[in-house]
Amino acid sequence: MAITRIIYWLGNTFIIFAVLLGFTSFLILFLSDYSASFIFFIMSMVVLTVGSILKLLTHNTSNRDSNSEALLFLLLFWIFVPMLGSLPYIALGTTNSFISAYFESVSAFTTTGASSLVADDLSQVIVLWRSILQWFGGVCAATFAIVILAALNLFGTGIHKSKLFTLEKGKLFLKLLTIGRIVAFIYFLITFFTVLLMVFSGSNLFDSLCLSLSGISSGGLMPKSGPLNTYINQVGVTILSVTCLIGAMNVAVLHDCFRLKNTKAFLSLLKNVEHKALITFVLILFSIGAIYGSFSSVFVIIIESIFFISTAGFNYAIDGLEYIPVAILISLSLIGGSALSTAGGLKIIRILLLFRHLGTDMNRLSHPSRILPVLFRGQHIPDRSFLSIWMYFFGYTIFFGISICLLGASGLTFDNAVMLGAASISNFGPLLQYISTESGFSINDLSDQQKVISSFFMISGRVEVLAVLILFTPSFWRQ
């Protein structure tokens, strides 16, 4: 394993993040907060200097990379970037605790959207920063999913085939910037048109920008406290819900749709098996919400169902999904959105494949002498292809169980530990708003220990847990 290769790409990471800080410094000028803009500029220069030094010290490293190097860089990336992202929280006096700042940064960057801060108490600069951090995290999540996780087959079979996957073996790192630019451009266009449409609908420009950045990344952090219907009208929230749904869709399919630019490509977006399942889950949750709630709140329930299934989880109104049993909400949150998207959870494609495999195995039990292949999307899938999916499901279950145990040991009740564990590993922080107020739990009261545990599982969920489990195998380190 070439450590210098990893350090070289961490240097590139610092440089890219310095550009993000510099761009944020420029945007803050429009908020007329010149001191905050200067602070961001200084941080940008410091991070740029550190990144340049790391890159210069290792510039002679080989341009070839192994799978183990790619996985180790993946994990270090998701650990170090939130550290950089926590700097503005401390520099601007939002919090004096590094652990709290790191928790907020991890939550934003992994697009989890759990925050112990009150939005109305924050400056516009911090609100904007965490929205940008969510957007950047969403781009990184989709990029790494394509370049490393899908390329190393950690997603398993069934992933949509696209020209994005034309990766040359041994050059995964070199593809990061190329694929990252494509993904960033796609999400930028969607964000731009969302902001434009929301402003035309009558929404405030700043709120529209922050919500659009958060919506396409399935982040869930809001610019203001309280439900959306207090400051966003129905047209604006409808536009936002469509953006959230697109954010939960497979970015490879979105890329093909943008590339081909015809009706057939647009129809393929709707015909994709994951996207049809995504819409089906929205309809299922809407039906459940209508049963437990009230048919007079149809618009509220359908909007919140879209927000929930996309794992953005914006709270649109008080009378929404609050009446649905928590067990149902946890189950749906763990499923998540499409593979290769900004959404969290197990991913829909894995659930579909597991149920198809289970159905075939049940038929085999009733007809033991028959040869029954697993059919999915018109293709014969060999049993060995399901190994990585079952391994992932097993690993995800283990991590979820460990999160409950650790959070319970830190002082939370079992119910609250289950909710926080599910919210963390599924990268779905807004799930916590459905905890009963009678339980006495408030995310604002999390201890430093609980924030560290939650941060670890947010990162584990975002890197698809198998990447973390691989670290504990001796063969990985022998390389």
Each residue of 142-181: pLDDT tens digit? 998 888 766 555 444 444 455 454 445 556 677 888 889 9
pLDDT value, residue 287: 92
Is 403 inside a domain boundary?
yes
User: CB–CB of 162/256 below 8 Å?
Assistant: yes
- Confirm whether 451 is domain-assigned: yes
- What pLDDT digit, counting tens, does each position of 331-383 carry? 999 998 888 888 888 888 888 888 877 777 777 676 666 666 666 666 677 76
What is the rounded CA–CA span in Å between residue 326 and residue 393? Answer: 22
pLDDT in tens, 416-460: 999 999 999 999 998 888 875 556 677 888 899 999 999 999 999
Q: Looking at the domain assignment, is residue 362 inside a domain?
A: yes
Q: DSSP per residue over 367-427, as a string?
A: STTS---EEETTEEE-GGGGHHHHHHHHHHHHHHHHHHHHHHHTT--HHHHHHHHHHHHTT
Average pLDDT of every residue of the chain:
86
Task: Confirm whether 467 is domain-assigned.
Answer: yes
In percent, the amount of the chain with pLDDT more than 90 equals 52
137: pLDDT strictly greater than 80: yes
Does any domain span residue 201?
A: no
What is the pLDDT, as a whole number, of residue 390? 81
CA count, 13 A, side-chain hemisphere, 247 = 41
Residue 296 binned pLDDT confidence (cut-offs 50, 70, 90): low
pLDDT at 60 over 90: no
For the chain, how many residues are written? Answer: 479
Map residue 358 onto helix, strand or coil: helix
160 DSSP assignment = P
Q: Residue 375 is part of which domain span?
A: 357-478
In a domain, 463, yes or no: yes
Looking at residue 158, what is its pLDDT? 45
Per-residue pLDDT band for 404 (boundaries 50, 70, 90) equals: very high
More confident residue, 358 or 413: 413
Asked if 128 contacts 28 with a C-beta cutoff of 8 angstroms, the reply is yes
Let me know if residue 36 belongs to a domain.
no
Would you say the pTM of this structure is higher than 0.85?
yes
What would you measure as the largest C-alpha separation in the chain, in angstroms? 76
**Lowest-pLDDT range of 19-23, 40-44, 114-118:** 114-118
| Residue 238 forms part of a structural domain | no
Select from 98, 132, 127, 124 the least CA-distant residue to 115. Answer: 127
Q: 54-61: which pairs have CB atoms within 8 A and are 24 or more residues apart?
A: 54/7, 54/8, 54/10, 54/11, 54/14, 55/8, 55/11, 55/12, 55/15, 56/11, 57/7, 57/11, 58/4, 58/5, 58/7, 58/8, 58/11, 59/8, 61/2, 61/4, 61/5, 61/7, 61/8
307: which 2 tokens? 């927000």
Confidence of residue 254 (pLDDT cuts 50, 70, 90): confident
Bridge partners of 376, per DSSP, are 379
Number of domains observed in the structure of the chain:
1
pLDDT computed for residue 479 by the predictor: 59
Give, in order, the Cα–Cα distances in Å from 289 to each of 238, 337, 344, 350.
18, 19, 22, 25
Given a contact cutoff of 8 angstroms between Cβ atoms, the answer to whether 212 and 233 are in contact is no
Tokens of 464: 């698809």
d(C-alpha 148, C-alpha 130), whole Å? 26
Return all residues near 372 (Cβ < 8 A) that are at least 6 apart: 360, 363, 364
